[in-house]
Amino acid sequence: MKVSVIGATGYAGAELLRLLHNHPEAEVMYMTSESHTGQPISAIYPHLRGIYDQKLISMKEMDKIAGASDVVFIGLPHGHAMAVGKVLEGKSVKIIDLGADYRFTDTKTYEEWYKVEHTHKDAKRVYGLAELYRKDIKTASIVGNAGCYTTASILALAPLVKYNLIYIDTIVIDAKSGVSGAGRSANLSNHFPEMYDNFKAYNVGGHRHTPEIEQTLSELAGEKIVLSFTPHLVPMSRGILSSCYAKLKPDVTAEQVDAAYEEMYQNEFFIRLLGRGGYPATKEVRGSNFCDIGWHIDARVGRVIALSAIDNLVKGAAGQAVQNFNIICGFDEKMGLLNVPVYP
């Protein structure tokens, strides 16, 4: 399959190139950048030297890109993928957007949280969280790859919601991310002295991943879920650890909770269940497409605490995009994604 990467100079785009290099069925045709057009990608990312030395082109050359590609991956900041989607409309090219433009079934919610007008409202899109929407992704033309915090949090909570084990109005998510989650463009919070040896929450009560998590969990529950989500910035490069709390319904046993996780994920290669009492760690998934999940019952207060760890750039972005690519192309879902986590 011929693929191109729009926004190849971002952390997500570069990670995608790393994974595509190991994909036996993917051939990278074009990669784009607006600020480094004409330069080889390896001049921006020296770790790609000798692997990808082709020159970056502008996404203004979209006709050329579309003509040469079966699938276009988009790694642009939110608000920018819609324009690409519109240009590619009607062409026989599938889109996998790593940003948020195509993640919402209700574009009003997108506009409300992202403060951007949605200019491609009628696009038929599928939410790109493979473990839950695999069947729809198979035939999709536009996949809105799930977000990073959302992937970790939804996967940790889904069995509890699906099997009706918790009070859905008691969900609290406390998530922590490495700094690469904020992208490569520097802002003050990513500046080394601000971030290093520091640990802080941000966007409390208003992070834009809140409605994305609510959208999927509500679909699973069959009723509207609202929840609290608090993200934190941790001084590490990669990784997300999500700690999710909820009140268990009366008489729900620990064994029922165990059975829910096992039943829901028994055939999911990328979900590694650490079981009741398990402690996932970001380093144990680093560089891989795995999502590790453990859960605990705090019987004293009647709560379940589900913990999940992912690499934000892999299962939270580029790896998930490749998983979705495999699904829409009819390949084995694991193709190009069998790399072992990098440890220590």
Ligand X SMILES: NC(=O)C1=CN([C@@H]2O[C@H](COP(=O)(O)OP(=O)(O)OC[C@H]3O[C@@H](n4cnc5c(N)ncnc54)[C@H](OP(=O)(O)O)[C@@H]3O)[C@@H](O)[C@H]2O)C=CC1
Half-sphere exposure of 283 (CA within 13 A, CB side): 3
Contact 37, 106 (CB under 8 A): no
Residues 264-323 that bind ligand X (CB under 6 A): 312-313, 316-317
Report the distance separating Cα 79 and Cα 116, nearest Å. 7
Q: Is 9 in the site for ligand X (CB under 6 A)?
A: yes
Q: Is 128 in the site for ligand X (CB under 6 A)?
A: no
Question: 3-class SS at 130?
Answer: helix
Q: Which is nearer to ligand X, 36 or 91 (CB)?
A: 36
The residue from 75, 159, 231, 294 that contacts ligand X (CB under 6 A) is 75
Least separation in angstroms between residue 150's CB and ligand X2W is: 7
Q: Is 231 in the site for ligand X (CB under 6 A)?
A: no
Report the distance separating Cα 182 and Cα 50, nearest Å. 27
Could you check whether the bond before residue 344 is cis, i.e. omega within 30 degrees of 0?
yes
Q: Which is nearer to ligand X2W, 45 or 261 (CB)?
A: 45
Site pattern 155..194 for ligand X (x: CB under 6 A): -------------------------xx-xxx---------
Least separation in angstroms between residue 266's CB and ligand X is: 27
Chain centre to alpha carbon of residue 42: 25
The residue from 3, 12, 29, 220 that contacts ligand X (CB under 6 A) is 12
Report the distance separating Cα 75 and Cα 12, nearest Å. 6
| Catalytic, out of 148, 244, 291, 329 | 148
Give start and end residues of each alpha helix (H) in 89-143: 107-114, 130-138
Contact 265, 156 (CB under 8 A): no
How far, in Å, are 10, 45, 315 from residue 31 at the CA level?
Answer: 11, 13, 21
Residue 148 is a catalytic residue = yes
Binding residues with ligand X: total (CB under 6 A): 28
**CA angle, residues 45, 142, 10, in degrees to nearest 5:** 15
> Which contiguous run of DSSP H or E holds residue 244?
strand 240-247
77 binds, among ligand X, ligand X2W, none (CB under 5 to 8 A by kind): ligand X
The residue from 85, 147, 294, 336 that contacts ligand X (CB under 6 A) is 147
The residue type of 21 is: H
111 binds, among ligand X, ligand X2W, none (CB under 5 to 8 A by kind): none
Question: Shortest CA distance to 339 belongs to which of 281, 283, 290?
Answer: 290
Report the distance separating Cα 122 and Cα 151, nearest Å. 25
Q: Which is nearer to ligand X2W, 229 or 261 (CB)?
A: 229
Q: Is 142 in the site for ligand X (CB under 6 A)?
A: no
Residue nearest to ligand X (CB): 10
Q: Is 98 in the site for ligand X (CB under 6 A)?
A: yes
Least separation in angstroms between residue 100's CB and ligand X is: 6
Positions in the binding site for ligand X2W (CB under 6 A): 99-100, 147-148, 177, 181-182, 209, 231, 233
- How many residues in total does the chain contain? 344
Residues 20-59 that bind ligand X (CB under 6 A): 33-36
- Residues labelled as active-site residues: 148
Name the site residues for ligand X (rule: CB under 6 A): 7, 9-13, 33-36, 75-78, 80, 98-99, 147-148, 180-181, 183-185, 312-313, 316-317
